[in-house]
Structure formats: structure tokens, C-alpha cells
Amino acid sequence: MSEEPSRPPPRRGFEPLPEWVGPTTRLVHGARRPELNAGAVVPPIYQTSTFHYPASHSESAAHGSVYLYTRNLNPSHEGPAEIIRQLEGAETARLFGSGMGAITTTLLSLLQPGDEVVALEGLYGGSLGILRGLLPKFGVRVRWVSDEAAHEPEEAVGSSARLVFLESPTNPLLRVHDIARWAQAAHRAGALLLVDNTFATPINQRPIPLGADLVVHSVTKYLGGHSDLVGGVLAGSKELVDPIDPSANVGAALDPFAAFLLDRSLKTLSLRMARHNENGRRVAQALSPHPELARVHYPGRASPEEEAIARRQMQGRSGMVSLSLARGASAIPKFLGRLRFVHVAASLGGVESLASVPGETSHRHLSATERRTRGIDDGLVRVSLGIEDPEDLIRDLTEALDALR
Ligand SMILES: Cc1ncc(COP(=O)(O)O)c(C=O)c1O
């Protein structure tokens, strides 16, 4: 597709729900339009790359056909995008073929040569890679802010900043940053705030009502929730997100089948998050005194200030816990090898518990020294607790730690 005419906005046709509707009801009923889907309760998968295109554009609009080519928009994208839009409290949301697709497309679309990005160091390794490797090639400067300096956003955001990019809780140390305060500091400097909300999910934290301009997710994680799809989403105002539309030509489109899986998964998001939150809290509490652990990282644990921020801005802390093994890197293979219910795999947010070593997965592109400087010690194992029974997970992890003695 070389020439793509500008299209009328999609007529989404979703019945608006009353304001008072709770998040779980919203997840199940927030994107109904059976009349457009032969009455189907579960929308079909529109597994097509392209759409019939009436002779003239006005004819196309008259037929209600707003779809042209799946790289730009497919009806299977619209339900899950609508649900995420509502949950995040955004004006609009757009799906992408991966979290990195959403992040890269957003950064490339918003930034220009000479712009400065203020980036917090506790970002996902893939985002660090784009900020360090790709953006400087296009004349975009990045100003890095450490987790410690992140407590003073007003000092970190200068008048040359165009965009502030943060994640909270961070990956993999689960540090918590004050989104409302960062939003204020960014806006005072005339910059936008972009928040990666993947670890928290909109069930636990809503950056847009806290002041963020844009929210991204890897929907591969909790929103997809079953470790069977890869996708991303960007949510925010129409003014910011709509111009990113043509940039879908970057090619980071979500496959309709993945969109269908996401639609199915979102219906249970709040139920799953309740269990993930419980498992995270109980495992962090139960493992903390274990002598084989130098430290248990959990959102809010780093300091009383972070605990206070977490209480203010989070409704739950997620199922993420990172464990620093007291014996360091040499103990990792034995520890991982003893786990029965925690699979050793990259990624997070699925119904099954997963453990990974950031130095070998998400943060492998940093040197060992860079990792240590950022507090990612050699014995760190990141655990994404699934929805299994908390007692079984505590037992599994405790027995694997006991085996190190
Ligand atoms: C916090 C966070 N953001 C973004 C990404 C990238 O998402 P994806 O793997 O869907 O490209 C990841 C992936 O691990 C992540 O953990």
C-alpha cells in the first residue's frame, strides 16, 4: 500500500455504559455491538488483510465501511482497544503488534531532531535499547534519571524536555515513582508524560487521571494474561494519538487473531489481577525472612516514601516480586532448577508463574557494570506470580531456596 487516502473515523458503534459501572462489568460489557456481528455474543475474528473498497470514498463512508487494510485498522482491534480506552480513562486507544511496536512508533512519531527525552533508568530493557541505540541516530537527546534522582522530578525536567518517559513499578526492581508529581513537573516544563503501565495494569493504577498524557502497555503481559499473544497498546487524547495513526505504516500492526485473544482475556482481567495482587503480597511477605535471600523487591518496599506513593496511586501492587539470592549468580541455576510450578521463562503477567534472570533476558543488553550500578545484582531473579494457590507458590519457592543451604 503506497497511497492511503485519509479515512473517516471508525464508527465504533459501542453502547456507552453509565459512569457508575464498575471495572469488572466494564471489562465484560464495555464493547458490545452484536448488531454488527450477526448477533454473536463473542465477536468473530476478522481474519482478513484487506477490505472491499467501494469505488469512491464518499460511497465507502455511506456503506459504513471504514476499514481499508488491516495494518491500519481491523474490526477485531476495536473491541479490545475500546475496553482499554475506558479502563485507562483515555479518549482513545490504539493497538499495536507488540509493546515495543507501540513504544517505538510513539517515540518516532512524537519526537523530532533536537528534542530531549527525560527517561527514568528503570525502564524495560527494550525501551532502553530504543532510547540509547535508535533515537540518537535521529538527533534526539536522552537525559537519564536514576531511581534515586527520580524522587526530585522538578530538578530532572528542564525547559528543553519534550517528553518524559517512565515506568512504575519499574522493571525489574519494582521501584515506585510519583506519577502525579512527574506529570506536574513535565507539564511545567512544557513536556509530555508517557507512562509504561504494563506492570501495574489499569486495574491497579491509572496514570491518565493522575496527569499522564499517554499510556503504553505490552498487552503481551497482564492484559493478554495467558502467555499466548504478543501485542501493545497506546492510550491518550485524540489530539496526541490520532496523528500517530499514519505512523501505523511503521508496520507494527496487531494480527486479528491476537486481537481476538486479547478481547477474550480482558474479560477476566480484574479477577486475574485480584489473585496476582494477592499472590505477590503473600509471597513477598512469606519469603522476606528467608536466610537465602539478601533482599525481596516488591512495589513500595524500597522506602517509606515509595510505600506512601504506592498507597496513593495504586489499588493493588501486582504479582511481581524480584528476589536477590544471598549466594549471588552461582546459586541461580540450582534455585531455578528446583522450582516445580514456576516456569523459567522470559515475560510476565500470565496465569502461570514465571521466573527469569534480568541479566539474561530483559536487561541483557546492559553491561554487568551498568546493571550493578542500577541495583540489578548478579543474583537477581524476577518472579511473575501467576494465579495458582498462594500456599503452593510459597511452598515451591521456599523449598527451592531451602535447597541452596
Ligand atoms: C514493562 C514492559 N514494557 C514493554 C515491553 C515490551 O513489550 P513486548 O514484548 O510486547 O514488545 C515489555 C516486555 O517485556 C515490558 O516488560
Confidence of residue 63 (pLDDT cuts 50, 70, 90): low
Q: 286-317: per-residue pLDDT in tens?
A: 999 999 999 999 999 999 999 999 999 999 99
Confidence of residue 270 (pLDDT cuts 50, 70, 90): very high
Confidence of residue 11 (pLDDT cuts 50, 70, 90): very low
Total of domains in the chain? 2
pLDDT of residue 374: 86
168, 204, 220, 361: residue to mutate for ligand 1 pocket, most atoms within 8 A of CB? 220
Same domain, 290 and 232: no
pLDDT of residue 6: 45
DSSP 371-388: HHHTT--TTEEEEE--SS
What's the average model confidence in pLDDT over 223-241? Answer: 97
Whole-number average pLDDT of the chain:
93
- Three-class SS state of 355: strand
What's the average model confidence in pLDDT over 177-201? Answer: 98
Among the atoms of ligand 1, which is closest to the Cα of residue 347?
A: 14
- Separation CA 201–CA 328 (nearest Å): 31
Among the atoms of ligand 1, which is closest to the Cα of residue 198?
A: 1
Same domain, 170 and 216: yes
Q: Is the pLDDT higher at 8 or at 402? A: 402
221, 230, 354, 360: residue to mutate for ligand 1 pocket, most atoms within 8 A of CB? 221
CA 357 to ligand 1 centroid distance, Å: 15
Q: 349-394: per-residue pLDDT in tens?
A: 999 999 999 988 888 888 888 888 888 999 999 999 999 999 999 9
pLDDT of residue 229: 98
CA 227 to ligand 1 centroid distance, Å: 13
- Percent of the residues in the chain that have a pLDDT greater than 90, as a whole number: 82
Among the atoms of ligand 1, which is closest to the Cα of residue 362?
A: 14
Q: Among residues 260, 192, 268, which one has the least CA distance to residue 231?
A: 260
Confidence of residue 4 (pLDDT cuts 50, 70, 90): very low
Which residue bears the cell 496523528? Answer: 243
What strands lie across the sheet with 192-196, from one edge to the other?
92-96, 232-236, 214-218, 192-196, 161-167, 116-120, 141-145
CA 207 to ligand 1 centroid distance, Å: 17
Q: Does the beta carbon of 98 sit less than 6 angstroms from any atom of ligand 1?
A: yes
Q: Does the beta carbon of 167 sit less than 6 angstroms from any atom of ligand 1?
A: yes
* Angle subtended at Cα 304 by Cα 302 and Cα 309, rounded to the nearest 5 degrees: 90
pLDDT of residue 9: 42
- Separation CA 401–CA 151 (nearest Å): 34
Res 7 pLDDT > 70: no
Q: What are phi and psi of 165, to 5 degrees?
A: -125, 120
Peptide bond into 172 cis (omega under 30): yes
Q: Among residues 348, 359, 288, which one has the least CA distance to residue 318?
A: 348
Last residue of a domain, one of 216, 236, 266: 266
Q: Does the beta carbon of 313 sit less than 6 angstroms from any atom of ligand 1?
A: no
Among the atoms of ligand 1, which is closest to the Cα of residue 123?
A: 1
Same domain, 336 and 250: no
DSSP 180-236: HHHHHHHHHTT-EEEEE-TTTHHHH--TTTTT-SEEEEETTTTTT-SS----EEEEE
Confidence of residue 115 (pLDDT cuts 50, 70, 90): very high
Q: Is residue 216 part of a domain?
A: yes
Tell me which residue has its CA closest to atom 14 in ligand 1.
347
What's the average model confidence in pLDDT over 163-180? Answer: 97
Q: Is the pLDDT higher at 64 or at 243? A: 243
Cα distances (Å, whole numbers) of residue 58 to 61, 155, 189? 5, 52, 43
Last residue of a domain, one of 237, 266, 295: 266
Which CATH number goes with the domain that contains 50?
3.40.640.10
pLDDT of residue 56: 67
Confidence of residue 397 (pLDDT cuts 50, 70, 90): very high
Q: Environment class of residue 87 by beta-carbon count within 10 Å: exposed (0-12), middle (13-18) or buried (19+)?
A: buried
Cell triple for 218? 505490552
Q: Environment class of residue 378 by beta-carbon count within 10 Å: exposed (0-12), middle (13-18) or buried (19+)?
A: middle
Same domain, 285 and 259: no
Same domain, 380 and 285: yes
pLDDT of residue 226: 98
Q: Is the pLDDT higher at 6 or at 201? A: 201
Last residue of a domain, one of 206, 239, 266: 266
Q: Does the beta carbon of 196 sit less than 6 angstroms from any atom of ligand 1?
A: yes
pTM of the model: 0.94
Same domain, 76 and 29: yes
CA 99 to ligand 1 centroid distance, Å: 5
How many CB atoms are located within 10 Å of the residue 280 CB? 24
- Separation CA 100–CA 204 (nearest Å): 22
Residues annotated as catalytic (active site), given as ranges: 71, 124, 196, 221
Res 97 pLDDT > 80: yes
100, 219, 223: residue to mutate for ligand 1 pocket, most atoms within 8 A of CB? 100
Q: Does the beta carbon of 350 sit less than 6 angstroms from any atom of ligand 1?
A: no
Cell triple for 158? 528542564
Tell me which residue has its CA closest to atom 8 in ligand 1.
99
pLDDT of residue 372: 86
- Three-class SS state of 245: helix
pLDDT of residue 10: 42
What's the average model confidence in pLDDT over 336-344? Answer: 97
- Three-class SS state of 256: helix
Same domain, 225 and 314: no
Res 265 pLDDT > 60: yes
Least confident range of 169-183, 213-227, 244-258: 244-258
Chain centre to alpha carbon of residue 43:
25
State which residues form the domain around 288.
270-402
Same domain, 238 and 129: yes
